[in-house]
Each structure stands twice: as structure tokens, then as C-alpha cells.
Amino acid sequence: MERWNINKSSDLYGVTEWSGGYFFVAENGDLMVAPASGETERAVSIAEVSRGMRDRGFDMPVLLRIENILDSQITLLNETFCDAMSELGYKGSFMGAYPIKVNQQQQVVEKIAQFGSRYHHGLEAGSKAELIAAMGMMRDKKAVLICNGYKDEEFIDLGLYATKIGYTCILVVEMPDELPLIIERSKKLKARPILGIRIKLSAQAGGHWAESGGERSIFGLNTSQVIHAVDMLKEAGMLDCLKLVHYHLGSQISNIREIRTAVNEACRVYAGLAKEGAAVEYLDLGGGLAVDYDGSQSNFLSSRNYTLKEYCTDIVEAVMTSLEDANIPAPVIITESGRALVAYYSILLFNILDVTRFEPDPLPDTLPEDCPPQLEYMHQALKDLTIRNIQEVFNDTIFYRDETRRLFQTGKITLRERSLAERLFWTTINRISRLAKDLRNPGAELSDLDRILSDFYYCNFSVFQSLPDSWAIEQLFPIMPIHRLDEEPTRKGILADITCDCDGKIDQFIDKRGVKHYLPLHELKPYEEYILGAFLVGAYQETLGDLHNLLGDTNIVTIRIKEQGEFEFVNEQEGDTVAEVLSYVQYDPKRLFVRFRETAEQAVREGKISPQERREVVSVYEAGLRGYTYFER
Ligand SMILES: *Cc1c(COP(=O)(O)O)cnc(C)c1O
């Protein structure tokens, strides 16, 4: 047999397929991260980074951000659109706008504003708070600042002032009722707004967010409402303010055909508005550019059946063909890509705390004398097991195991006997699973045994807090060890988080053909941390978390990879302390502390503990309040 090697690991975890050129396996078995797609010479070992974090006192779990990747993704999006435009001879231009809701963290938005400035990459705000954040972060007056979302007077006024002081701030009308208010406020503030209209398309995309597009979409104006808006603007002498047409089909659109269809329809509306006399200039296609999380390059939910190049080319081409006969200047094409921009740049790193195996202790050679007959039957079935009677033994074993459980409940067999029955059961199932590998057509039940027999790896993180989409919408993320990739992973495991909630687990993993129900993993080594990474977690995961079991934000560490491939820590954010998390749910940590001290004092008075012990107990409680919410070594 050929020895295990890093190429086998790379293939097993599908690294080349999902990595976007940012991750690969090094000779020494470490997973490497490159500062830009394909730039392997300057790559750094993630395991080395994680050792650096440990030495600086940053406990797992940690959200690791690689700043260069964000820079690189912004560059890729802008350059690819530019290239497509010059190749096709498009006369307009491209502008990006990053939707803040995809990852609102100050550091992320700040970096996007910084890295994006050379392309005038703008921001998209969907609420007042996001607009306030954007106005404080953005310097670039040429970049667009797009205001979506339902708007009250305050929101509108803020947007109008932004325009007054020189921002290219575009107020997008999402609901018919907003327009009269916008007109009124513009007159009051003597501001000339830049307006957009969000349209409802009849085209609808599949996927989780199907309802965001289509006629049943919650936001946007249908064609008769659009016409009504045009008339209203005409009457107010403001039709020349209408400069942008917007739609948003939904996120993670995995099928390129749906993207093209929507562009076509939007172009018809755009041309129609131009004909009505609106000074349209921008065509804003919203988000939707998908991430190939599972690397299958298919129209599967966690994938996409197109490349970035195809996405850009198809859009530019569709705009050109649709507007060919309209005889109007080529619009500035805007996309509000969020997911594709930020997903790659964050990795969640966590350590394994413990493993449970479904391999029973060895059986005794003979059963005890006065054993219940059900156990005798199971024992006999195990002895008789061959590849020929495999299904029969499987059925019998399950039948007698259920019998023994029933008898236990009615008090007919002892705890010790039941435990022996369970061991017999698991021993038989393990042996069946091994034999079943030689069957040509094992059938669904027998092929499912791999999953049933897979180990539990207990992981130091909370799915609810750090990978909410994995729990809520069964989004797949690539997950794999970040080291030991030169060793064969001989175990199969599913991941359990530390919430001890039966939903707090991951038992679906990426696979080139569909979904895998276990993850190949290594045996734990004594005294050595085993660290896994969940990848492409930069989009939508950080603020949807719900403090389940009061596990809070993780530590966040950002690195920058420099010229010679050395890295530096550029930003470190401590995760929530227990006291912080408690205060989010309205506890007052100070009062908790005082009350606990009183309880301890009472124990002293009752002679249960000494005053010295009280001091220790109280200081442990206090340290707990100050500590990390996750498992600390
Ligand atoms: C959520 C959202 C986006 C971002 O979509 P992605 O698929 O993450 O790029 C863009 N525009 C609007 C209006 C949104 O609501």
C-alpha cells in the first residue's frame, strides 16, 4: 500500500476546490494560508500562527483574520469586472458597494474602506445605524454610499445631509410610501437628493433566500408603483434626481442563469425609466455573488456553478445586449457583493477537548451462567456472523438489543446484564460495518453504519455563537485539521460543541459528491493539542450568534502577511468575559458578586467553611467573572 502523503490529505478535504487559491497543504503537514490567491511563496503556516497566539495568551477558540485576503478579494472583484469590460468593449464602468450587514465589525468596514479606496469601492447601509457607521468611516466622496432599507425621517435627513456635504449618497426608494416623505424632506432641507428605486423582478432565484427576489419579495416597487413614482417625481420637478435602478435577488445565488435573467429584466426597467426622462446613470444589481463552500462548482446550495470571471462577463454581456437598442449611455454597473468579499478572510480555530468512541470494551470469553436468553442469542449471532448472513445478524442483533432494553425497563434484567447486552450490540455492529465494506451492494442501512459508528469529537466552540448558519440553515463550511496532514486521519468523527445541546453539533460536511456525514480526523495524541479550522466564515456568522448557554464572542486576532512572508499581529480583540455576557442578559456582575460573597459569609457563620476558605471561594468566583466564556486549559 502506498504511504499516506499530503496530496492525499489535500484531496480528502477538497482543499484545492474550496480554497480559492488561499489555502494549501505544506510538506510538513501544516495547512498554509497565502496572502493572495495562488501566492504560495509568501504563505504562512496556520499552526504556527496559532502557536504564536497561544504564546501571547490568546485561548482557543479564536477567530483568525488574514487582512491580506480581504485586500485581495476586493482587488479581484474590481479587476475582474474591469477586465471583462475592456475585453467586451463596454463603455460604462464598475463600482462596488460593500453591504455593512454582512460583517458589521468596525475593523472589517474600516479595512474595506481603506483597501477599497483605490477602486472607489463604496458601502451599502440598510439601516440608520449602518448609515451612521458608514458616514463615520468613509472618506471617499467618489465612492457610492447606498441607503437601502425602510427609512424614517431621521434616516432620510441623514442621507440628504450626506449628499449635501459631498458624498455620493443614494437614497433608494424601497416602498411606495417613502417617496412623498423624501420629496418633502428634500424641499425642507433644500437638498438635491440622488435617488434610486428598488424594483421587484418577476425573475426569482432559488436557494435559501428565494423570497428576497420575485414578485413576492418584501421590498421593492412593482411596475405600476414605479410609474407612479415617476409621475410623482415629475410633478415635484425632481425626475432628474432619479439616477439608480436597484434590485437584490437574494444571497448565495448558485445558478448563473438566474443572475443573467434578472439582469435582463432590470435593464428593461432601466431603459424604460430613461425613456420616461429620468437621468438614470447607475444599475445596481445587489448582492448574490456566491461562495463555493463545498468546492463542487455546482448549483448546489453551498456552491456556485460559475467562476468570478464568468459572473462578471455574463453581467456585462447581458447589460450590453439588453441595452443595445435603447440608445442610452452605458450605465455604471454596481454590485453589492458582501459574502464573496469577506467570507475567505476569517477562520474559526478551535481545539478538541475530548473524544467518545463507539467501540465497546472487549467482551468476556464466555457469558455468565444464568444469563438471560436474549444475551445468549446475541452472543451466538456474533459468533455466526459471516458476509453471507450479515443482514440477518444485523436484524437479530437490533431485535434482541431492543428486547433487553424493554426487559430492563420492567425490571426483568439487571443493570449489569443490560450493559453486557449493549457491549454485545456495539461489538456486533462494529464487526458488521467492517464486513459490509466487502459487499457490492450494502443497502442503505448497512452503508449508514459509518455514520452511526463515527466518534464524537468535543470541540471548544459554540455552533450557535460562531457558526449560526450551520445550525439555522444547514449551510456547509469546509472544516479540517490545520496540522498533521502528512498523517493519515484514521478516525471518522462528527463534531459536538461545548453547549451540550443536541443541536450543538456538526454532522454534515462538504464532499465533492453531495454531503458527507462524518469528518476524517486523526487520533488525539497525549499532551498535544489537536486543532481544527472552520473556513470561509467571514460572512454573516459573527453577529447572528445568540449567546446560547451564555457562550460569548470569541477572541479575534488579525494578522498581516508581509513582503518576505513573515507575519505580524495587527489587531487583537479579547472575546467576551463571563461578566460581559451576563450583563447582556441584564445581570449586574457587581451585585452578583456581592450576593455571592454574602452567601459565602453565611457559610462561615454556619461553620461550613473557614474565613480563609471563604477568601479562596470568593476569589475563584471573581476570577470566573473576569474569565473567558469558553473552556480554558
Ligand atoms: C444582504 C444584501 C446584500 C449582500 O448580499 P451578498 O449575497 O452577501 O453579496 C446586498 N444587497 C442587499 C440589499 C442586501 O440586503
170, 245, 248, 308, best to mutate for ligand 1 pocket (most atoms within 8 Å of CB): 248
Q: Which residue has the cell 449602518?
A: 130
96 lines ligand 1 (CB under 6 A): no
122 lines ligand 1 (CB under 6 A): no
Distance between CA atoms of residues 341 and 66, nearest Å: 13
Q: What is the pLDDT of residue 441?
A: 86
pLDDT tens for each residue of 123-174: 999 999 999 999 999 999 999 999 999 999 999 999 999 999 999 999 999 9
Q: What is the pLDDT of residue 359?
A: 82
Q: Of ligand 1's atoms, which has the minimum distance to the CA of residue 251? A: 7
212 lines ligand 1 (CB under 6 A): no
334 lines ligand 1 (CB under 6 A): no
**Residues in Cβ contact with 508 at an 8 Å cutoff, skipping those fewer than 6 apart:** 474, 476, 515, 516, 517
Burial of 487 from C-beta contacts in 10 A (0-12 / 13-18 / 19+): middle
- Whether residue 37 is predicted with pLDDT greater than 90 in this model: the reply is yes
Across 113-127, average pLDDT: 96
> Degrees (nearest 5) of the Cα angle 282, 292, 254?
55
198 lines ligand 1 (CB under 6 A): no
Q: Of ligand 1's atoms, which has the minimum distance to the CA of residue 148? A: 13
What percent of the chain shows pLDDT beyond 90?
Answer: 86
Q: What is the pLDDT of residue 365?
A: 84
Of the pLDDT bands very low, low, confident and very high (cuts 50, 70, 90), residue 213 is low
pLDDT tens for each residue of 568-606: 999 999 999 999 999 999 999 999 999 999 999 999 999
Q: Of ligand 1's atoms, which has the minimum distance to the CA of residue 212? A: 15
pTM for the structure as a whole: 0.93
Q: What is the pLDDT of residue 512?
A: 83
- Whether residue 633 is predicted with pLDDT greater than 90 in this model: the reply is no
pLDDT tens for each residue of 187-212: 999 999 999 999 999 876 666 656 56
Q: Taking all residues of the chain, what is their mean pLDDT, rounded to a whole number? A: 94
- 48 C-alpha to ligand 1 centroid (Å): 35
Q: What is the pLDDT of residue 547?
A: 81
Q: Of ligand 1's atoms, which has the minimum distance to the CA of residue 340? A: 9
Q: Of ligand 1's atoms, which has the minimum distance to the CA of residue 286? A: 11
Q: How many residues does the chain have?
A: 633
Q: What is the pLDDT of residue 503?
A: 86
- 411 C-alpha to ligand 1 centroid (Å): 60
Of 103, 169, 190, nearest in space to 556 by CA: 103
Across 611-623, average pLDDT: 97
**Residues in Cβ contact with 113 at an 8 Å cutoff, skipping those fewer than 6 apart:** 123, 137, 138, 139, 140
pLDDT tens for each residue of 278-332: 999 999 999 999 999 999 999 988 999 999 999 999 999 999 999 999 999 999 9
- 238 C-alpha to ligand 1 centroid (Å): 28
Of the pLDDT bands very low, low, confident and very high (cuts 50, 70, 90), residue 542 is confident
Q: Of ligand 1's atoms, which has the minimum distance to the CA of residue 246? A: 13
* Contact between residue 536 and residue 15 where contact means Cβ atoms under 8 Å apart: no
Concatenating the DSSP letter of every residue in 261-285 gives HHHHHHHHHHHHHHHHT----EEE-
pLDDT tens for each residue of 427-462: 999 999 999 988 888 888 888 888 889 999 999 999
Q: What is the pLDDT of residue 605?
A: 97
Q: Of ligand 1's atoms, which has the minimum distance to the CA of residue 540? A: 8
102 lines ligand 1 (CB under 6 A): yes
Q: Of ligand 1's atoms, which has the minimum distance to the CA of residue 288? A: 7
- Whether residue 72 is predicted with pLDDT greater than 70 in this model: the reply is yes
Which helix (H) or strand (E) element contains residue 198?
strand 194-198
73 lines ligand 1 (CB under 6 A): no
Which helix (H) or strand (E) element contains residue 25?
strand 23-25
246 lines ligand 1 (CB under 6 A): no
Q: What is the pLDDT of residue 33?
A: 98
The DSSP secondary-structure symbol of 101 reads G
Nearest CA to ligand 1 atom 6: 287
Q: What is the pLDDT of residue 1?
A: 58
207 lines ligand 1 (CB under 6 A): no
Strand partners, 494: 456
287 lines ligand 1 (CB under 6 A): yes
336, 475, 543, best to mutate for ligand 1 pocket (most atoms within 8 Å of CB): 336
Concatenating the DSSP letter of every residue in 530-585 gives -EEEE-S--SS-SSS---GGG--PPEEEEEEE-TTS-EEEEEEE---BHHHHHHHT
Count the helices and strands in the chain (H runs, E runs): 22, 23
109, 175, 247, 251, best to mutate for ligand 1 pocket (most atoms within 8 Å of CB): 251
Return the SS3 of 518: coil
Q: Of ligand 1's atoms, which has the minimum distance to the CA of residue 539? A: 8
Q: Of ligand 1's atoms, which has the minimum distance to the CA of residue 101? A: 1
Across 68-80, average pLDDT: 98
* Contact between residue 537 and residue 347 where contact means Cβ atoms under 8 Å apart: yes
- 248 C-alpha to ligand 1 centroid (Å): 7
Strand partners, 284: 246, 334
pLDDT tens for each residue of 342-399: 999 999 999 999 999 988 888 888 899 889 999 999 999 999 999 999 999 999 999 9
Nearest CA to ligand 1 atom 4: 287
